[in-house]
Amino acid sequence: MARADKAAAVADIAEQFKASTATVITEYRGLTVAHLAELRRSLGQSVTYAVAKNTLVKRAASEAGVDGLDELFVGPTAIAFISGEPVDAAKAIKTFAKDHKALVIKGGYMDGHPLTVGEVERIADLESREVLLAKLAGAMKGNLSKAPGCSTPRRRRWPGWRPRCRRRRPPRLRPRRPARLRRKHRLTPPNNPNIPTTTESGRTHTHGKTVHRRAARRLQGHDPAGALGLR
């Protein structure tokens, strides 16, 4: 490879180191071209899986400020430059390594720190960002549903707001009238006309005397002198 081509390759690898959110370094000894193509398809468009010479990768990592990876650049090296979600890419690489023993994970780099093989596998065991957001949304929804009355006092302060169902008032109970006022008719006078009788108005009189007075008034209208016994 010419010197100009090597310089261009180093610059390209260094740029990929800078633009990546994480990188996973693997050894692909024993994998065929078809296997590498299958691995690239499983990683998706957010991951660039490139085979590079160790000398060029070391220079590119040094120019990009990536330290602590020189001991990993031994043997056939292929690097997965991840520009998307690191968890998804780590899951895909780990799954492919289980099915194809020729693929060996050496380590990685993320957030300015080198990663060991165990750390890469732990990242692969994490849940994806979408799953975590879905769980967070479900937890928030559940907490809100447990407090349905939180907004009720504020709603009651809105102008013009009225509850749909009003509480019915209990019927008013009228006071019980005394027994003497509940009588609808005057008491039937007794057989003896001289016994006083109590009417609904509470007055007491003698039934016989009342009858005589009424008869006298009727007779006075026609013959007053006869009514008085003068004739």
Residue with tokens 């120019």: 63
For residues 213 and 122, what is the distance between their CA atoms, to the nearest angstrom?
Answer: 121
- CA distances to 17, 30, 48, 121, 132 from 100, rounded to whole Å, are 26, 10, 19, 16, 29
pLDDT in tens, 152-183: 555 555 555 555 555 666 667 666 666 665 55
Mean pLDDT of the chain: 76
d(CA 228, CA 213): 12
Across the chain, the runs of DSSP E, i.e. the strands, are: 22-27, 47-52, 77-82, 104-110, 113-115, 196-198, 204-206
Q: Residue holding tokens 């939180």?
A: 150
What are the residue boundaries of the structural domains of the chain, listed by start? 3-125
Please provide the CATH number assigned to the domain covering 3-125.
3.30.70.1730
pTM: 0.56
For 96-120, what is each residue's pLDDT tens digit? 999 999 999 999 999 889 999 999 9
pLDDT above 70 for 205: no
